Chain A
Amino acid sequence: QVQLQESGPGLVKPSQTLSLTCTVSGGSIDSGAFYWSWIRQHPGKGLEWIGNIYFSGKTQYNPSLESRVTISLDSYKSEFSLKLSSVTAADTAVYYCATYSAYDAAFDYWGQGTLVTVSS
């Protein structure tokens, strides 16, 4: 069973870059079974897909965030990362990493989530 764990700063200053890492265990990040994804949830709100990366390095991003988002993958460390630049208070949210399976077209596994607050 795949397990995911987010890590990174819980507080980011406005205009800076938010950086998070998701460590994968219980499965191979190179297997091709999943798209490695980032999803966020603003306080008290619904879910917003940010983007994902495949083991080949191919990425997909939400068009609403594409100009500020970079997702990368490090197979040696079995982790993938999110960078979101030029953050504002509107980027304050719980950030989840998750796996998207093309087989069942769903997000099968989720990390526990990490709250990132944008504030000076």
Chain B
Amino acid sequence: EIVLTQSPGTLSLSPGERATLSCRANQSVRYTYLAWYQQKPGQAPRLLIYGASSRATGIPDRFSGSGSGTDFTLTISRLEPEDFAVYYCQHYGSSPPYTFGQGTKLEI
């Protein structure tokens, strides 16, 4: 089972700044099957990035994903007020379970 560890646990930044969120796997991720989600309080998660670097439909280009192997990064180039939320990475390998990281809270 692949375990995903996200860092930092909490990231405190201001609007307009650049955010860099990390997701590290305990073994190499298959085919860069790594996704990122945003979750705001009281809402379901929303898919941001799939395949490590492809933006989902309707996601602004200030969101970008990168990485391969065991190290992945979600970057938000210039933070907007609506970007403050919790972010999760997720992976599925060749057999269950589908795993999520523990989340990074991005706060003002």
- A residues with a Cβ closer than 8 A to B are 37, 46-49, 51-52, 60-64, 96, 98, 100, 104-108, 110-113
- B residues with a Cβ closer than 8 A to A are 31, 33, 35, 37, 43-47, 50-51, 54, 56, 88, 90, 92, 96-103
Q: Nearest chain-B residue to A65 (Cβ)?
A: B97
- Please state if B47 and A47 are interface contacts (CB–CB under 8 Å): no
Chain A nearest CB, measured from B91 CB (Å): 8
Given the known interface contacts A46-B88, A110-B44, the answer about A104 and B100 at a Cβ–Cβ threshold of 8 Å is: no
Q: Which residues of A contact B31 (CB under 8 A)?
A: 105
Q: Which residues of A contact B44 (CB under 8 A)?
A: 96, 98, 110-113
Q: Which residues of A contact B88 (CB under 8 A)?
A: 46-47
- Please state if B50 and A104 are interface contacts (CB–CB under 8 Å): yes
Q: Which residues of B contact A96 (CB under 8 A)?
A: 44-45
